[in-house]
Amino acid sequence: MATLGNPQNTIAVLQKYKFNFQKKYGQNFLIDIRVLEKIISAADITEDDFVLEIGPGIGTMTQYLCEHARAVAAVEIDKNLIPILEDTLSVYENVEIIQQDILKIDINRLVQEKNEGNPIKVVANLPYYITTPIIMGLFESHVPIESITVMVQKEVADRMQVGPGTKDYGALSLAVQYYAKPEIVANVPSNCFIPRPKVGSAVIRLDRYKEAPVQVKEEKQMFALIRASFNQRRKTLVNGLNNAPDIPYGKEQMIQALEEMGLPANVRGESLTLAQFARLSNLLSRF
Ligand code: SAM
């Protein structure tokens, strides 16, 4: 089987199997070798690595992963792609194709069974309609992960990377930055895919922290505060939190906590750093 990362070979495979793209699965296949090489080198895959690929499509990136990694598990939801993958990956003995929905599979169990619970690397050209649940699911369920290197919508990559004071800053930025150090490694134009997505894309690498960058007593509460303050972005932090049903503190307690942090009572959530949200959560825990 020829290398797939170019338009001719990709179209040949699609025609051979009379494959119809399914929009609902976010299918945009990569057809640019330079982009594929960039992803593999950014992910820093070595022959010791166990790699989880989410959404292998027709196996374009999977071929590269198989060449570089010790073992690859590729989870694909679309049944129609399985016979194609069995063909395009037939020469590789270090790959397992799993026909499943990535949001339903027990990834911790997979890592336990296939990699003795040791940290894995995740590499993917993600289906954009479920980027956030996939990434947050991996972090929140504490899957042992060294790094996640993924193609995502450009705007989402920006949101993951920015700090306070920008319009893209929000709950996703803080959640990602609590678990990992983000770095955008490439911007990718639409003509590198077939069919072309309507949005720009970017490759982002998330390096999982071994220890969280901030100390927080109640992780769940901190994330509830973050979500509530960005749900009501135009309100002051105190009013936003006061309207949130899952935040049990009164206005006076919040104002007192903000005062102790040297922040004014009318501060907005979007100007707080991760460290400040952690401190606020810790101060409120006393009440
Ligand atoms: N990796 C291929 C490439 O780069 O050419 C395909 C990437 S395409 C953007 C996303 C892939 O994810 C598709 O193959 C799609 O069928 C698959 N997919 C979509 N939703 C999924 C889910 N919930 N679980 C697993 N795979 C999914």
pLDDT of residue 6: 87
Closest by CA position to 50, among listed 138, 101, 118, 127: 118
Which atom from ligand 1 is nearest to the alpha carbon of 62?
1
**To test the ligand 1 pocket, which listed residue (22, 54, 66, 132) has its Cβ within 8 A of the most ligand atoms?**
54
Angle, CA 197 vertex, CA 192 and CA 200 arms, to 5°: 75
Spatial separation of the C-alpha atoms in residues 136 and 124, rounded to whole Å: 15
Could you tell me if the CB of 197 is within 6 A of ligand 1?
Answer: no
Whether the pLDDT of residue 74 is over 60: the answer is yes
Mean pLDDT, residues 141-150 = 96
Split at pLDDT 50, 70, 90, the class of 209 is very high
Whether the pLDDT of residue 234 is over 90: the answer is no
Whether the pLDDT of residue 1 is over 60: the answer is no
> What residues contact 38, with CB distance under 8 A and at least 6 apart?
185, 186, 203
pLDDT of residue 8: 93
Q: pLDDT tens digit string along 265-282?
A: 999 999 999 999 999 999
Mean pLDDT, residues 197-220 = 96
Whether the pLDDT of residue 243 is over 70: the answer is yes
pLDDT of residue 2: 60
Peptide bond into 182 cis (omega under 30): no
pLDDT of residue 23: 93
Which atom from ligand 1 is nearest to the alpha carbon of 28?
9
Mean pLDDT, residues 27-41 = 96
Could you tell me if the CB of 125 is within 6 A of ligand 1?
Answer: yes
Q: Which residue has better confidence, 173 or 165?
A: 173
Split at pLDDT 50, 70, 90, the class of 89 is very high
Closest by CA position to 127, among listed 75, 192, 92, 167: 75
Q: pLDDT tens digit string along 175-192?
A: 999 999 999 999 999 999
Average pLDDT, rounded, for the chain: 95
Whether the pLDDT of residue 96 is over 60: the answer is yes
pLDDT of residue 231: 87
**To test the ligand 1 pocket, which listed residue (21, 77, 135, 198) has its Cβ within 8 A of the most ligand atoms?**
77
Q: How many residues does the chain have?
A: 287
Could you tell me if the CB of 102 is within 6 A of ligand 1?
Answer: yes
